[in-house]
A and B are shown apart, each in its own frame.
Chain A
Amino acid sequence: MAAVLVAAAAAATEARNMKMSERRSITGALAAATCTLLGTSSPEPVQAQEEPGWDFNTALLYYGEDNDRVQDLSLNVLARRTFTDDRFLTLGLTFDTLTGATPNGALPQSVPQTFTQPSGRRTYTTAPGDFPIDDTFRDSRVALTAAWQQPLRRLSTINLGLSASAEFDYTHLGLNAKISRDFNNRNTTLSAGLAFAMDDLDPVGGTPIGLTPMRNADNDDDDDEGGNRGPTESKDILDFVFGVTQVISRNLLMQVNYSYSDSSGYLSDPYKILSAVDAVTGDVVPITQMPGIDGPSHLNYYELRPDSRRKHSLYTQAKYYMDGKVLDASYRYMTDDWEIDSHTLELRFRWPLSDSRYLEPHLRFYTQSAAEFYRPSLIDGDPLPEYASADYRLGDFDAITAGMKYGWKTGGGNDVSVRLELYKQSGNVSSSQLIGNQLNRDSYPDLNAIIFQFAYRFGM
């Protein structure tokens, strides 16, 4: 996300530069015209610079899922300092507080199910018919970004960025660079970017070894990480982005980006499991615990994903101006070597109500196919597959977002906006992957969430 923040900031900066250079040429032309009319010579050279100063974008975001699942409260600040000669420094800060519960990957059953918490210290129990959710999830996250932009030559710009973030069980450090060059009277901009990230994971209770049975709880508060627990893990992510931005006409602007992303290292989710089921009934295999032992009531395995993933994305965006209203449409196709294909279509329509107020409806449609190793369960007695995950985010699902933003300018010229959006995911598990009683039960944890954001932008 930190890299995205930097990229978004860079895109905004780039866009503003284009705007600024225009503002300058218009100012210059007006100044020259005025001087001609007044019959005087220009008192001093017209300074083609944006006023140095700070511009602050701030926002408070609430994201909440239904059924007591994840809730996130997020504070974001993006500060941009303008220097002379088209140089900019952008600093970003994000602070997230997450609470709630998330599906652990196991299937619902007609009997209660007990699971060991990720910490390995206690167990939790899920009611019959419910999707097992791990309600011990709690985290906070701090992310920082810094980006520097400056012209390289008359038509080229370079952006250099750093990103870092820390959570209780996760740290990230990233570097990125992007070069852009204008062509065709600045109607075409080509850009190339590179980002590298090094992330470390230190899961609560140690990293589980993939495709081994869920451990028992030890009921003590020591941080021992024995048994099927591995050490701290890491992953590296390398991203390339190539883009073309083209002015088509006075009121139409388009962009096409190709991006490639290569992740390697530990890519599993250390908190996700799969149920091991009976080959005929499809019910999760019960475990009889020895007296005095606190542990899972049913047989579950920790998930295991491949240790590399290569993604290709093609993204295109168009901005079209229609008599004061602006249509913003984008489409993204993504494909990867986990056999996930996805399509994302996004539409925003900015509709001015007056000079200082606007409404902006937003629609987003998303669909993805399942990863080749996604499966709702493992069959007890069958040889274990090479990789397996029941994480709903790797399954076959559709999602829709519908929202509305209302924005206005304050008397002091600052921008304020509020937006409310609803996000809904509906999944589908192929009936060929379901066995016996599973066909009569929910096999995919659908998701409904609301997004509320308050944003305030001001300059100093």
Chain B
Amino acid sequence: MLTAGLILLGTISGCSSMGVEPWERDILAKEEMQLTTDPIEAATDDHIYFSKEASSGGRGFGGGGCGCN
């Protein structure tokens, strides 16, 4: 837990040197630059691969809610 906390602090402080100013967000604000551009496609793909493979989750919660696996 302590290690996780230190890594987290390190990440935050390390990340502080990266990034952009608020007026430089024109590209990041584009729809195609969002992490999930198509929530339904993401959900249906997760559902298909959850049903056919032994792995799930990663992007979000691990899934479940299906008798398919």
Contacts and interface: CB of A to CB of B under 8 A. Distances in A.
A239 B62 contact: yes
Contacts of B69: 269, 393
Interface string B27-41: 111111111111111
Interface in B15-34: 15-16, 18-34
Q: How would you classify the secondary structure of chain B's contact residues: helix, strand, loop or mixed?
A: loop
A130 to B, nearest CB: 20
Q: How would you classify the secondary structure of chain A's contact residues: helix, strand, loop or mixed?
A: strand
A332 B54 CA distance: 13
Contacts of B62: 3-4, 195, 237, 239, 259, 261, 311, 313
A330 B52 CA distance: 19
Given A237-B62, A344-B55, A368-B53, A246 B18 contact: yes
B65 A199 contact: yes
A197 B56 CA distance: 15
Contacts of B47: 1, 4
Sorting the interface of chain A by its residue count into under 10, 10 to 19, 20 to 34 or 35 or more gives 35 or more
A435 interface: no
Sorting the interface of chain B by its residue count into under 10, 10 to 19, 20 to 34 or 35 or more gives 35 or more
B33 A326 contact: yes
Given A315-B58, A368-B53, A368-B54, A163 B65 contact: yes
Interface of A: 1-12, 15-16, 18-19, 22-23, 25-26, 29, 57-59, 61, 63, 74, 76, 78, 92, 94, 139, 141, 143, 163-165, 167, 169-170, 172, 174, 176, 183-188, 190, 193, 195, 197, 199, 201, 237, 239, 241, 244-251, 253, 255, 257, 259, 261, 263, 269, 311, 313-315, 317, 319, 321, 326, 328, 330, 332, 334, 336, 338, 340, 342, 344, 350, 358, 366, 368, 371, 393-394, 399, 405, 417, 419, 423, 425, 447, 449, 451, 453, 455
Interface of B: 8, 11-12, 15-16, 18-44, 46-50, 52-67, 69
